[in-house]
Structure 1
Amino acid sequence: MDDLTLASDALRQNLKELEIINTYLGGHDVVRNGLDRLLAHPFLGTFSGKTLKIADLGSGGGDTLRMVAQWARKRNLPVDLVGIDANAFMVAYGQQHSQQYPEIRFEQADVFSEQFAQEKYDIVICSLFLHHFTDDGLVQLFSGLRQQVRIAVLINDLHRHPLAFYSIKALTKAFSHSHLVKHDAPLSVERAFIKQDWQRLLPRAGVPQFELRWRWAFRWQVVFGPFLGKQPKNE
């Protein structure tokens, strides 16, 4: 999945299965819960009646944005949803599968580019995206996002744990029809995060205040940004 030249039937199968994994193994729940918490925060009162511009970095097949669109529609919340991906195939796939959502658009971009750094968003979502980067890359990205968001950065990523590794390995071996999923899912857990990683990396990026929560199944929900006016909360 890190190969930006990938474009094949195997990748299409991979994206279909990732959407199933996100739906049934808690990924979408982590993002929905984070958005609900943000929406309930008094800081959001200053954005009442305005269209919220929400970006999903590493948007892949676009399933997270389609879920966010459904979430917003149920709340009569006007949104402008932007999927950002460096892979042209992902952008095309996302567009093709999101035609029923006019509030969603996709852009091909490098999140480390100067051009991307000029963009501003109300909320930035990073869902199963960050474990692809080095520590230095994450510090650079977090530091930049601090300057780009008006409300918050909402992170959903994996907990690095032996039980998570062997569970996803067994599940994908038994049920997956994608060799990419069988290879990438356990590898993603190996590359993922423990609590101390967040507590080390975020301050390095100049993010002293953040909320960190463990969510089922072996997920981290991390939130930081201008909305947060209290000390770090770890659960």
Structure 2
Amino acid sequence: MIWPVALTASDVKSLFFPLRNLRDELLDLDEASYEEVRDSLNDVTTVNRYLSGYRVLLHHTGEFLKKHQSDRPFTVLDAATGSADQPVALVKLARKLGVPIQVTAIDINSKMLKMAKDEIFQYPEIRLVQCDVLALPFKDEG
């Protein structure tokens, strides 16, 4: 590989840290059809499955689940849940470990929640709530 002779700090920064795109994502726009949302979220699920997204989540959460000894269920808030694929993975792990769990999965987008509802019918441990992550409708129970 041939590198330029002199890279400035600005060159390196733009190479490794591109400018953040502040435009709305297609999935966040009302114009996206349910089918487009579903197809895109299915792609995200595939990426999570094959590129270690679930492995990282389940490894770290699994440590907490194994140590959880309480008369109350282990509780999780999943913000921007999308298709709720990660809450489903968490519930499966908790069931395997015999740990009661309750997941509140939130999203502002009604199309995403419609898809999530279709995905969680076998998981009563997951509750869906439509809300803005910046204005949560829950009291702080820390």
Larger Rg: 2
Q: Which residue of 2 aligns with 1:101?
A: 123
Residues of 1 paired with 2:121 and 2:65: CA distance?
26
* Counterpart among 35, 48, 56 of residue 22 in structure 1: 48
Q: How does 1:81-96 map to 2 (within 5 A)?
A: 81-96=103-118
Q: Which residue of 1 aligns with 2:139?
A: 119
Question: Could you give the per-residue CA deviations for residues 22-65 of structure 1, whole angstroms, max 9, x where no partner exists?
Answer: 01101111110111222355xx44xx231122111010011001
Distance 1:118 1:99, change over 3 A: closer
- Secondary structure (helix, strand or coil) at the match of 1:11 reads helix
Q: Which residue of 2 aligns with 1:60?
A: 82
Distance 1:53 1:62, change over 3 A: same
Residues of 2 paired with 1:67 and 1:99: CA distance?
14
What is the Cα-based RMSD across aligned positions, in Å? 1.9
Distance 1:83 1:118, change over 3 A: closer
Q: Which residue of 2 aligns with 1:72?
A: 94
Question: Could you give the per-residue CA deviations for residues 113-139 of structure 1, whole angstroms, max 9, x where no partner exists?
Answer: 1xx16434xxxxxxxxxxxxxxxxxxx
Amino acid at match of 1:80: Q
> Could you tell me whether the CA contact under 8 Å between 2:66 and 2:97 is conserved in 1?
no
- Secondary structure (helix, strand or coil) at the match of 1:72 reads helix
- Secondary structure (helix, strand or coil) at the match of 1:39 reads helix
> Could you tell me whether the CA contact under 8 Å between 1:4 and 1:86 is conserved in 2?
no
Residues of 2 paired with 1:28 and 1:63: CA distance?
9
Question: Could you give the per-residue CA deviations for residues 174-222 of structure 1, whole angstroms, max 9, x where no partner exists?
Answer: xxxxxxxxxxxxxxxxxxxxxxxxxxxxxxxxxxxxxxxxxxxxxxxxx
Q: Identity across aligned pairs (percent)?
A: 27
> Could you tell me whether the CA contact under 8 Å between 2:87 and 2:103 is conserved in 1?
yes
- Secondary structure (helix, strand or coil) at the match of 1:53 reads strand
Q: Which runs of 5+ in 2 are unaligned?
A: 1-24
Q: Which runs of 5+ in 1 are unaligned?
A: 121-147, 151-235
Runs (4+) of structure 1 moved beyond 6 Å?
A: none
Q: Which residue of 1 aligns with 2:12?
A: none
Residues of 1 paired with 2:80 and 2:133: CA distance?
9
- Secondary structure (helix, strand or coil) at the match of 2:28 reads coil
| Higher share of residues assigned strand | 1
> Could you tell me whether the CA contact under 8 Å between 2:65 and 2:94 is conserved in 1?
no
Q: How does 1:202-213 map to 2 (within 5 A)?
A: none
> Could you tell me whether the CA contact under 8 Å between 2:107 and 2:129 is conserved in 1?
yes
Amino acid at match of 1:93: M
